[in-house]
Amino acid sequence: MSLISTPRRDVAWIGRFSALLRYGVLIGVGLIMLYPLFWMVAASFKPNHEIFGSVSLWPQDPTMDGVVKGWRTGTEYSFATYLLNSFAFIMPKVVLTVVSSVLVAYGFARFRMPGKQLWFALMVATILLPKSVLLIPQYLMFREFGWLDTYLPLYVPCAFATDGFFVFMVVQFLRGIPPDMEEAAVIDGCNSLQVLWHVVVPVIMPAIISVALFQFMWSLNDFLYPLIYLSSVGKYPVALALKMAIDVTEATAWNQVLAMSTIALLPSLIVFFLAQKYFVEGITSGSVKG
């Protein structure tokens, strides 16, 4: 008995130690990665002098000053205006991106057309194109349209599936779905658009939600395009408002900037957690064999 039990106890001990080590390393690295985020949230509630004066994460002298003043901003508009401005172009941008990307991806994934391989390769190639290359020609074009200082240049291009990455993503998703369901729908009397709406869209909902979520987050974080096309402060989105808060005053009120950054994070976080269950739940389960 003792001959067997001794090594067993050893094995159990080694297993427990390795688990401890594993989780210890994971938690440690995780904390290091998240520390800037915690620091930002904590700094929102610190008085300005404490932010760079103390290494402690926890505010020694907690105050809502940064949040209140930051919300009021140094301009004639409150932070709410900038948040609403962001949504004013992000919402149409997300909708147009989803509609156009799904339509184009459906075309690439399911229809035979001459030169399809070439078109698809070209589309993928646009993903690799640096954005700054397009900046000047696009600016000139939108100036001719008289669209400067409006939100149109920010979202109208999305109606033409210009985000090759999203098209690519949906195409890959569609390729993993057997076309039988769509054929059944054709036999049931659907035309191509009805097939797309009644059958394909519900099935690729996880991909659609991913597209919407990514576009939402990236657009909220986008700094360059609003900076180029918008000139009236009253039309600025969140990203520009934050930048403005840094350089309008000589001594930047960092607690205000960080408090507003924290608030600016919230929409993305909320949207992400609301949409999370669609990533987890495979909606196709049960339709085909298995």
Partner 1 sequence: MAKGRVLLRGVTKCFGAVDVIKGVDLEIAPGELTVFVGPSGCGKSTLLRLVSGLELPTGGSIMIGDRDVTLVHPSERGIAMVFQSYALYPHMSVAENMGFGLKIAGLPKPLIKEKVAKAAEILQLTPLLDRKPRALSGGQRQRVAIGRCIVREPEVFLFDEPLSNLDAALRGQMRVEIARLHAKLGATMIYVTHDQVEAMTLATRIVVLNAGRIEQIGAPIELYRHPANLFVAGFIGSPAMNFMDGIVEAVETNSVSVRLNGATLRLPRHDAAVKPGAKVTVGIRPEHFRVGPTPADMDDDQAVEFDAIIDLVERLGGETLAHLRMPSLSDGVLVVKISGDVPLRIGTGLRVGIRLAQCHLFDADGRAVGEPAARAVVAA
- Which parts of this chain interact with partner 1 (CB under 8 A)? 178, 180-181, 183-190, 194, 198-199, 202-203, 283-289
Residues in the chain: 290
Select 77 or 278, whichever has its Cβ closest to partner 1.
278
Neighbouring residues of 171: CB distance < 8 A, sequence distance ≥ 6: 105, 108, 109, 120
> Min. distance of Cβ 134 from partner 1 in angstroms?
37
CA nearest 96: which of 220, 274, 1, 216? 216
220/61 Cα distance (integer angstroms): 32
Select 22 or 175, whichever has its Cβ closest to partner 1.
175
Select 61 or 180, whichever has its Cβ closest to partner 1.
180
Select 113 or 187, whichever has its Cβ closest to partner 1.
187
Q: Which two tokens stand for residue 31?
A: 């904390």
148/153 Cα distance (integer angstroms): 8
> Min. distance of Cβ 183 from partner 1 in angstroms?
5
> Min. distance of Cβ 275 from partner 1 in angstroms?
17
Burial of 76 (0-12, 13-18, 19+ CB in 10 A): exposed
CB 163 within 8 A of CB 215: yes
> Min. distance of Cβ 113 from partner 1 in angstroms?
14
> Min. distance of Cβ 200 from partner 1 in angstroms?
10
Select 199 or 211, whichever has its Cβ closest to partner 1.
199
CA dihedral 171, 273, 238, 261 (to 10 degrees): -130
